[in-house]
Amino acid sequence: MEYYELTYLALPSLKEEELEEVSKKIEELIKEGKLEKKERAKKQKLAYQIKDESQAFLVSLYFQAEAKEIASLEKYLKEEERVLRHLIIKNKPQKEEKKRSEKPSIFRSSQKPKVELSDIDKKIEEILEE
């Protein structure tokens, strides 16, 4: 199974029940997979109009699924009139992302050398004498 992220825009005129119905149908299509995280629908102003709409509900889902499930999910999203746009991307497992972000950067030293004030004074005197 692969990790995926689905983000879609739903019509802003949808009632809460209709939005929940669309969401449940999408979750049903991920039947063999595992829903990891679902972000609550937020009404957003769009940067440009999509199908004469300037606002939409933005919903994101993070899940595991097989490739065959993605094909049926993609087909449903294309046919669903209440979904303006959608994007499905293959994602990395969240555990790996945390490990990667915890590693120190090669550009940042975890221990900064301490410099004594007397060393700074000596260096300044050496520079000024030259």
Q: Which pLDDT belongs to residue 28?
A: 86
| 40 pLDDT above the threshold of 90 | no
More confident residue, 95 or 4: 4
More confident residue, 112 or 3: 3
The span from the CA of 56 to the CA of 46, in Å, is 7
Averaged pLDDT for residues 64-92? 89
Average confidence score pLDDT of the chain:
83
More confident residue, 106 or 10: 10
Q: Which CATH architecture does the domain made up of 2-93 adopt?
A: 2-Layer Sandwich (3.30)
Where residue 117 falls among pLDDT bands split at 50, 70, 90? Answer: confident
The span from the CA of 97 to the CA of 34, in Å, is 18
Q: Domain residue spans in the chain? A: 2-93
For the chain, counts of helices (H) and of strands (E): 4, 4
| 83 pLDDT above the threshold of 70 | yes
Reported pTM? 0.66
